[in-house]
Amino acid sequence: MGDIHQRGWCDGTSGNFSCVLRRDPLLLLMAPSGARKGSLRAEELIVVNGEGEVVRGQGRASAETALHLAIVAVAGAGAVLHTHSLAATLLSSHGPGPGPFQDLEMLKGLEGIGTHQTTIRVPVLPNDQDMEALSRRAAPVIRDAPHGLLLAGHGLYAWGRDLNGAQRHLEILEFLLELQWRRLLLPAPGPRPDPPQARGER
């Protein structure tokens, strides 16, 4: 997960990552609350059960564990990656929210999408310090989300059937957010110049 930190997607002690170790009964491997993800050692990871209680390792489970558990339950995810990138923080609280994203080859990196001729929107939920309440509101959104959702002014949750899938979806969604941010900075496009033939040139 060091590269997620290196890309500036979980600065400070922000973000968290979880991976399903066992489904029944559920066990999640994740980082303890307050850990800096860029310098985390494997032996510092904790194991959390389906009620969000730490059953192995030192430290507390993050308050955001509730949303990780909801995503695992509703989407059947095998891994959940939560980032606080600049693009996710900015676009989740700017104007109408991110998207629609369409006619982009990168969309094909999202599981279930086989053509660039697709349109997706990344849903945005209001942020809430009560993560239990937020998780209950998130459940119907998770079902239809494109392997990710945003919390306004907070960050991105991306998931996949396993850690590789979650990482791929995280990279694609962060790419789309960054793309939209840069588009907002570009001046409005002027008319395209005519091709030479149309102007009678050879």
Whether the Cβ atoms of residue 99 and residue 123 lie closer than 8 Å to each other: no
Nearest to 131 by CA among 199, 57, 69, 83: 69
Gap between the Cα atoms of 165 and 160, Å rounded = 5
Instruction: Give min distance, CB of 200 to Zn ion, in A.
Output: 59
Q: Which residue's beta carbon is nearest to the bound Zn ion? A: 155
> How many residues interact with Zn ion (rule CB under 5 A)?
1
Per-residue x/- track, 36-75, Zn ion (CB under 5 A) = ----------------------------------------
**Which residue's CB is nearer to Zn ion, number 29 or number 134?**
134
Nearest to 76 by CA among 24, 128, 133, 154: 24
**Which residue's CB is nearer to Zn ion, number 78 or number 155?**
155
Instruction: Give min distance, CB of 78 to Zn ion, in A.
Output: 20
Gap between the Cα atoms of 32 and 54, Å rounded = 9
Instruction: Give min distance, CB of 77 to Zn ion, in A.
Output: 17
**Which residue's CB is nearer to Zn ion, number 12 or number 100?**
12
**Which residue's CB is nearer to Zn ion, number 32 or number 155?**
155
Applying the rule CB under 5 A, the residues between 155 and 174 that interact with Zn ion are 155
Instruction: Retrieve residue 135's tokens.
Output: 């998780």
Give me the amino acid identity at 198: A
Angle at 27 (CA atoms; ends 21, 29), nearest 5 degrees:
60
Q: Give the SS3 label for residue 177.
A: helix
Q: Which residue's entry shows tokens 């059953």?
A: 55
Per-residue x/- track, 137-156, Zn ion (CB under 5 A) = ------------------x-
Instruction: Give min distance, CB of 157 to Zn ion, in A.
Output: 8
Instruction: Give min distance, CB of 147 to Zn ion, in A.
Output: 18
**Which residue's CB is nearer to Zn ion, number 45 or number 151?**
151
183 contact partners, CB below 8 Å, separation of at least 6: none
Instruction: Give min distance, CB of 129 to Zn ion, in A.
Output: 11
Angle between helices 65-75 and 131-144 (to 10 degrees): 30
Q: Which residues bind Zn ion (CB under 5 A)?
A: 155
